[in-house]
Structure 1
Amino acid sequence: MPPKAILFDLDDTLWPIAPVIAAAETLLHDWLLAHAPRVAQQFSIEALRQARLAMLQQQPAYHGNLIELRRAGLLSAFEAVGEDVALVDTAVQQFLAARHRVTLYDDVLPGLAWMGQRLLVGSISNGNADLEIIGLAQHFRISIAASDFGVAKPDTSIFLAGCQALGVQPHEAVYVGDDLYFDVTGAQDAGMRAVWMNRKGSDAHLAAGVVPDAICANFDELLLWLQAQLAD
């Protein structure tokens, strides 16, 4: 059956996230140095990251709310050195402002414009990107964030909620994402077709035993695959 809807992951699917996070963490650490110097002096960017990873391992529910994980990590660091924890919220806002300074992959806007004329377009993300702030909201009928929904990918309920919000059945929808486990397996378990956006040319799906419905290196390849699906 030709698809009626397509839903997207955001980070590393529509834009590269690593340089954005690196820049945001540098900005945050500079802010800490000026406003909470004991935190900045005691905890490097890497030390804060490792503490968050340890916290995530102990409390995997944070996968559904990564900004709360960052907040919890900062709170722990502030408390450890006796800094004013009232500054934590401001610190998080500093990070969030920088986290939204993304640079789209060049193929994204033309691809979204093409799809918007033919399909219902939505997004489902475990991250903290706000499409309104980024300036992409007009391309999406619906956007679901795990932090608001209360359950994160790969739980099938968040994929089913996306389909329901667009008024389609799972088998009428395609999900596109860069992560084999959270995106491809999660969407397929919910009854959707899943496209692996494999911009790096990885063959990790072979070792993982995951069989995406399609593997695309960019939006140009995605559009070719969609054209074939829509012609069926």
Structure 2
Amino acid sequence: MAAYRRKLFAAGLSYAASLLSSGGSCQAGRRLFLLPGIFRKHWRTLSVTGAICAVPFLQKPENLSHEDLVRRASSLVTDSANTFLSQTTLALIDSFTGYIKAVNILVELHKQYEASISKFTPEEENAIWKVILGQRQEVIGRRKNCTHFESCWMTAVNLSQQAAEAAFNAGADQASVAAQSSLQVAQSQVEQVKQLMLEAEIQLKDSKAEYSERLQVALSEDEDIPDAYLRED
């Protein structure tokens, strides 16, 4: 394809050169003035030709109309969009579920720590605190995971909406209805789990497990805590 384009481009330049070399000075001047338009015309032709060569058009079957082919293509688009949506929905729900579990563990650990802190030896307190710090980092990682998959899921939602609309406009009503139904189910499932996640975050905030007094003291005293436990970015 690149060689073909170069030949057409060279042919255009040769044609332009022949215009400049033929006729008198006035005629040559007029043709020189028209040269940019001629060049753009040939370049547009080249671009269109290249684009057409790049698209793998299929021969239209004799017994199918263009409308039939468009409807069939729109159905394929909705199938692909539904697959993408289902996979991203599953990934998002799993990430939300993992995050909720990590939050609940952190809250419970912090509760046990505060309830029994007076009974711990310094060594036991430090050991338990390291476990809490590790769980806090787990929560941070899970939260980032949720953000990543939620972005993918929103892209899938938008794609499904566009696919459903395209199918409807193409006359593929059944494919459009199926896409809208899948979208509604996915949104409902995500909303249910997201509500549980919000409830878990409220418990986390109330427990102050992520920003406890013990953590603030450790920060103020520059205690030897790995940076990974303290960063959220």
Q: Aligning the two structures, in what range does the TM-score lie when normalised by the shorter sequence?
A: under 0.3
Q: Which structure shows the bigger proportion of residues in strand conformation? A: 1
**Higher alpha-carbon Rg:** 2
TM-score by length of 1: 0.22
Structure whose residues are more often helix by fraction: 2
